[in-house]
């Protein structure tokens, strides 16, 4: 009995199928990495925006968040860093590793490192005080 096919297709498929499955896995992992990076970036921007609104009532504008009586006011930097620590558990495969908040007179910088990369996710927001802007505009 003479066969036309000698089993070459089975041997070739046994090499090709693992390669295809590994490629699918790499695509899924890269999509999860990008999703986590986008979520971290969004959280950094929202934290920077919230931190920019902390004024302790000095400028007649912004959020004044009172802590316990003995602690006094919450500081924006402590607020951001505390929220960054809380958010670490919500990113499934590529969580944040390190983060810090730098507060300057005119801007807030929130920086976070992500597991799997050496690049930092950095978001900078300007500190706007509409009351001061309107007063300066009216003077002109």
Q: E strand or H helix at 27, and its extent? A: helix 8-52
- Residue with the bigger pLDDT between 106 and 27: it is 27
Residue 2 has pLDDT above 80, yes or no: no
pTM above the 0.75 mark?
Answer: no
Q: Which residues lie across from 27 on neighbouring strands? A: none
Beta strands in the chain (DSSP E): 96-103, 107-114, 120-126
pLDDT of 67-119, one tens digit each? 444 455 557 777 788 888 877 777 767 778 878 888 887 888 888 888 878 88
pLDDT at 5 (0 to 100) = 60
Q: How far apart are CA 117 and CA 98, in angstroms?
A: 12
């Amino acid at each position: 009995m003479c066969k036309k096919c000698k089993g070459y297709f089975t041997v070739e498929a046994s090499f090709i199928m693992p390669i295809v499955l590994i490629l699918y896995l790499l695509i899924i992992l890269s999509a999860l990495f990008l999703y986590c990076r986008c979520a971290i970036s969004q959280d950094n921007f929202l934290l920077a925006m919230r931190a920019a609104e902390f004024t302790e009532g000095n400028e007649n504008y912004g959020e004044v968040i009172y802590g316990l009586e003995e602690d006094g006011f919450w500081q924006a930097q402590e607020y951001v860093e505390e929220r960054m620590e809380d958010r670490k558990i919500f990113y499934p495969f590529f969580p944040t590793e390190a983060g810090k908040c730098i507060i300057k007179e005119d801007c807030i910088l929130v920086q976070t490192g992500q597991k799997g990369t050496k690049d930092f996710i950095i978001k900078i927001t300007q500190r706007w005080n509409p009351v001061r802007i309107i007063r300066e505009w009216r003077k002109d």
